Amino acid sequence: MGDAGFYELLRDAMTAAGASVNDLSLWRQFVAGGSAGVTYWSLTYPTDVIKSSLQSDGMRRSERRYGGIVDCVSKLYRDEGGWTRFYRGFVPCMLRAVPANATMLIVLENTRLLLNRYI
């Protein structure tokens, strides 16, 4: 989970000197999680477009459009609008990234804290 690493960096940066990260307010956890999601998707979105294009390609060899990763990148770039093709759908992804990643990371963090108390 790549965004958890960004979350931990941001969480640690938002924690006051001498304070425990376990005492971080829910609002700060939300900001750290949302920011981590935006950072993660900003860096990985083009590779996700390539992955999705390959996954949606034909099942039968005769129906496939792409011969592999390099061929997929080449054809997406050449036939579908240059580099902008790799960012189609980016805005909805960013709008989803903040609440989805913030919520997921808050649940993850608080579940971890809860389990550490009882295990």
**Domains of the chain, first to last:** 2-118 (1.50.40.10)
Q: Which of 1-15, 23-37, 93-107 has the lowest mean pLDDT?
A: 1-15
How high is the mean pLDDT of the chain?
86
Read off the pLDDT band of 78 (50, 70, 90).
very high
**Cα distance between residue 36 and residue 28, in whole Å:** 12
Confidence of residue 98 (pLDDT cuts 50, 70, 90): very high
Residue among 22, 35, 11, 21 at smallest CA distance from 100: 35
Label residue 29 exposed, middle or buried (CB < 10 Å: 0-12, 13-18, 19+): buried
Residue 1 has pLDDT above 60, yes or no: no
